[in-house]
Structure 1
């Protein structure tokens, strides 16, 4: 059986649309392609390629269908599973930690063979039978650590984000539409200290600063890059076009479409 004949499956929760990665997960693209953006780099995953997407990061991804089809395999590695795995297996830490959110994996017959081995475990609804899901997760993780031992430094780091430079972080991540609680957590702060430090750094409330910063970028893209409002509002963190249009005209006195 070819890998292209394997069905889509997700072992774990559905991928959150919130853009905050709460748990590490393995992603393999069967058909189509996946584009990812982490606030710094753009990443593309083509058919036959796989990656680890690391937790406690902000990321945006979109799928590109091939002849109307997009197929993928996703395995989540949550903290409970990883701690149990660590108790059973000897883990070596190499201190060679990549800072990327999307960590491309080497192509190897071990991964291909593993994916082909999933076929008998699909149940009638097209999911991996729960009886075997942890067994297959453990098998996959053993393969990944064999191929790229440096992944242990990422997967088995159970710490929480440390205190980061607030201005640098927000200038990099203002386009992500996540809650203030998420921003606070990712910068190593409580919500109250995040708001207090934000006011000291930017002399604005977080919500007001985010709106203004996104609108400034929107005006640049419309005026200088000749991009259409309909093509940019989601990427800038606005939930819908009407909200974006209203906020733009209120801020600049003209509509984005008129520019």
Structure 2
């Protein structure tokens, strides 16, 4: 059945995956509050990997790269309720609730496990998905403001994330690419996150790395895969998604072309 998304409001949705797994390198344009109803989620950010199970609640900051892999579990689909905390809605909220914002470097996704206040708030959305018509805006606004208020109650630093409306500025290309090369993003997105137009990104990349972005990305991903397989003794099927490849056979072909042997072979 694949992936299904049911919206009851532009900012409220129910997401379902029935396949063996679903993997995506994501860059959200707005904050997402996610309640995992069933299934299991693996998140890779930088050199760290996190696992979450049914009942866990996560907040994904906008403009942050993460790899998300969703798995069905115990015969149930991977299902989650998602609330979009848009820039406009947060701007309106913080125009009323004034705060002094401190810079956070870098903002990372947050976990709230199964906090009863958030769980109750998000669980109360489920009956709305039985409606035959869209959820009225005034009710959606009440529920989203309730969630924001709960977040502020249980996390004293959350205002510094939610009330920060700055866009990415120009940053070190070397530092950013070395940290984020395993993410399957378009060149436009890489440019945006480093504070550059596409043309400037390609020009600066060539000047910095003496090669094209695509060639450099492929080699870096293969080198990481080689390390994971040879040194960490991991299977190619466990590694290829994490390092930025979408297809196992294509990964195997590229690996052999670079190193002279297949990832399943033991030759060094």
Normalised by the size of structure 2, how large is the TM-score? 0.80
Contact persistence 2:36–2:57 (CA under 8 A): yes
How has the CA–CA distance of structure 1 residues 147 and 96 changed in structure 2, closer, same or farther, with 3 Å as cutoff? farther
Worse overlay, 155-164 or 110-119:
110-119
Distance 1:117 1:219, change over 3 A: closer
* Structure 2 residue corresponding to 1:83, chosen from 91, 108, 120: 91
| Structure 1 match to 2:176 | 169
Q: Does 1:247 align with 2:248?
A: no
Which 4+ residue blocks in structure 1 deviate beyond 6 angstroms? 13-16
Q: How far does the alpha carbon of each residue in 1:138-179 deviate from its partner, in whole angstroms, 9 at most, with x for none?
A: 221122123324212111211111222221211111111111
Aligned positions of 1:42-61 closer than 5 A: 42-61=49-68
Higher strand share: 2
State how many pairs are aligned: 251
1:159-213 superposed Cα distances (whole Å, 9 cap, x missing partner): 1112222212111111111111111111122222222221222111111101111
Counterparts of 1:57 and 1:49 in 2: how far apart (Å)?
20
Which of 33, 39, 59 pairs up with 2:40? Answer: 33
Which residues of structure 1 form unaligned runs of 5+? 1-7
In structure 2, distance between residues paired with 1:17 and 1:218? 18
1:84–1:37 Cα change, 3 Å: same
Alignment of 1:66-145 (within 5 A): 66-69=73-76, 70-87=78-95, 89-93=96-100, 95=102, 97=104, 99-105=106-112, 108-124=115-131, 129-131=135-137, 132-145=139-152
Task: Provide, for residues 109-129 of structure 1, a one-character-per-residue CA deviation record: whole Å limited to 9, x for no partner.
Answer: 43233234334433247x973
In structure 2, how many angstroms separate the alpha carbons of the residues matched to 1:14 and 1:194?
34
* Farther-moved stretch of structure 1 (159-168 vs 40-49): 40-49
Q: Which range is displaced more, 142-151 or 41-50?
A: 41-50
Q: What TM-score, normalized to structure 1?
A: 0.82
Against the structure 1 CA distance between its residues 226 and 115, is the aligned structure 2 distance closer, same or farther, given a 3 Å change threshold?
Answer: closer
